[in-house]
Structure 1
Amino acid sequence: MSKSYLGVDVGSTTSKCVVIDDDRAILGMSLVTEGIGTEGSTKAVSEVLEQVGVRREDISKTVATGYGRKIFPDSDRKVSELSCHVKGVFSQVPEARTLIDIGGQDAKVMSITESGIMTNFQMNDKCAAGTGRFLDVMARILQLDVAQLEGEYFKAAKPSKISSTCTVFSESEVISQLASGEKREDVVAGICQSVATRFASLVMRVGITPTLCMSGGVAKNGGVRDALEKELGLQIVCPPNAQYMGALGAALYAWETEHGIIRL
């Protein structure tokens, strides 16, 4: 029977799992919109095991990553989300040299060597501005699902100016703009541009070497991607299932652990 390896990414707002086989091919993936401090990781593990058709005891090795990795039970190893996102993305896009990861509560930029090793990074985890949490708050004000922001962005004719760098102040600013009659799609475009402008400064601290890739939940938002590409003047490559790259990297570390390869 072929061996299976489990990667669990316990994030701030979601829990993701990936199972791979001994050839490092993806067998299954699961995502539960519950993060650290919830039963999200347990649910995600149950879902992916049922999907793949294996029992928990049949998993050869398990690696946990993400904000909640330290409190995830029954893992053979715990690895930082930085290393896991790099490994996951590099396995899908070997030409990746700079990686952007915008998650629920923080944002990261990482430099990657041609052999897939992270050499430098910058992280903004002091404020939720520009993260998935920020977009969730803005979407709620606009009475939209966060998945609808992309469509609104591309309808905009004149993006609004969002000047605040704080989520709370940005919320007040957006409410005022709506009250003054600005179109919802223009406000959405302004929000996406504000995320891009804020994040571009973080990217510049690391420096950009093409190919530029993006992972994490915000990578699914085409409006943010488009605004960021314009801000940076470079195309952004998104690997398939970009939100699962941390969990995939964790599964690959599980495979390496089983085979006696201990490296970050």
Structure 2
Amino acid sequence: MNYFTGIDIGSTASKVVVLSEAGMEDRFVLPTGWSSRETSNEIARRLAEGGHPLGAGMKVVATGYGRVAVDYADKTVTEITCHGRGGWYLLGRDCTIIDIGGQDTKVITVEHGMPASFLMNDKCSAGTGKFLEIMANRLGVDLPELFTLAASGTPLAISSMCTVFAESEVISHIGAGERREDIAAGVVDSVVCKVAGLCARHTMAGDVLLTGGLCDSAYLVERLSLKLKCPVLTDPMGRYAGALGAALIARGKVTK
């Protein structure tokens, strides 16, 4: 049997999806760590351990921040193409995909299964998952706890467009004795506003699908829906969209 593996090595987490002609065979996620090459080797080990070793009968497509480190990949493809293909597959129709990653945020309009246009944020971690991680660490909580706190708070203003200055604003709020719930709500609201601002500069079309690791946060999805004034959809496989798209491309390459 032939297998088709998509590997999405992001700046924070790496996602892997294994397909066959019959459908999904395996999927897993692991921290990227400091070395994408070491992560690539660990993925190969886990694939073999799961009964899907590299070699004859296995085609691999890599994407993401560290895709060049996957030296056993048959092909590397951009994140835009893979997220577009994976998101379209999950939703089953033309749409606009928002991917809030660890390093960047992308808005992709997909038509007939392929990206028609896209826009990425500026080279700054503000408005990304990394920004949330930094601010959660400053508040002494993890990401799920940050969202739980935020759901019980009233957003405080965090207006800076720079992560370093935004962290200074958070420190000032802490020093002023503001409630952690209100600070957390302000942090999440800051990201939502930046993502919405990116969307406002892009031509949106069809339903909106959120992918990436943050698509599991009901609170963030709710806030983003309110800001965009339209429902933001998610999927249990949303965080794997890039890896899924890469695996679909691998499968298409073989069948053609």
Do the aligned residues in 1 keep the contact of 2:158 with 2:169 (CA within 8 Å)? yes
1:217-254 superposed Cα distances (whole Å, 9 cap, x missing partner):
12223332222111101111112221111011101111
Q: How far apart in 2 are the matches of 1:45 and 1:105?
A: 24
1:119 aligns with 2:116: yes
Aligned pairs for 1:114-153 within 5 A? 115-153=112-150
Do the aligned residues in 2 keep the contact of 1:217 with 1:243 (CA within 8 Å)? yes
Q: How far apart in 1 are the matches of 2:81 and 2:156?
A: 37
1:58-90 superposed Cα distances (whole Å, 9 cap, x missing partner):
542110101111232111111101110111111
Q: What residue is the counterpart of 1:57 in the other structure?
A: 55
Q: What residue is the counterpart of 1:244 in the other structure?
A: 240
- Cα offset for 1:125? 4.4
What one-letter code is carried by the residue in structure 2 that aligns with 1:134?
F
Q: How far apart in 1 are the matches of 2:126 and 2:225?
A: 19
Counting aligned pairs with the same residue, the percent is 38
TM-score after normalising by structure 2: 0.94
Q: How far apart in 2 are the matches of 1:35 and 1:120?
A: 31
**Residues 223, 245 of structure 1: CA spacing in aligned structure 2 closer, same or farther, 3 A cutoff?**
same
Q: What residue is the counterpart of 2:15 in the other structure?
A: 16
Do the aligned residues in 1 keep the contact of 2:87 with 2:211 (CA within 8 Å)? yes
Residue ranges of structure 2 left out of the alignment (5+ in a row): none
Q: CA RMSD in A?
A: 1.5
**Residues 17, 125 of structure 1: CA spacing in aligned structure 2 closer, same or farther, 3 A cutoff?**
farther
Do the aligned residues in 1 keep the contact of 2:44 with 2:53 (CA within 8 Å)? no
Do the aligned residues in 2 keep the contact of 1:7 with 1:250 (CA within 8 Å)? yes
Q: How far apart in 2 are the matches of 1:171 and 1:244?
A: 30
Q: How many residues align?
A: 255
1:219 aligns with 2:218: no
Q: Choose the corresponding residue for 1:186, options 182, 192, 196.
A: 182
Q: How far apart in 1 are the matches of 2:177 and 2:156?
A: 11
Q: What residue is the counterpart of 1:6 in the other structure?
A: 5
Q: How far apart in 1 are the matches of 2:135 and 2:80?
A: 27
1:36-64 superposed Cα distances (whole Å, 9 cap, x missing partner):
7341222233224423x222225421101
- Cα offset for 1:207? 2.3
**Residues 210, 104 of structure 1: CA spacing in aligned structure 2 closer, same or farther, 3 A cutoff?**
same
Q: What residue is the counterpart of 2:46 in the other structure?
A: 47
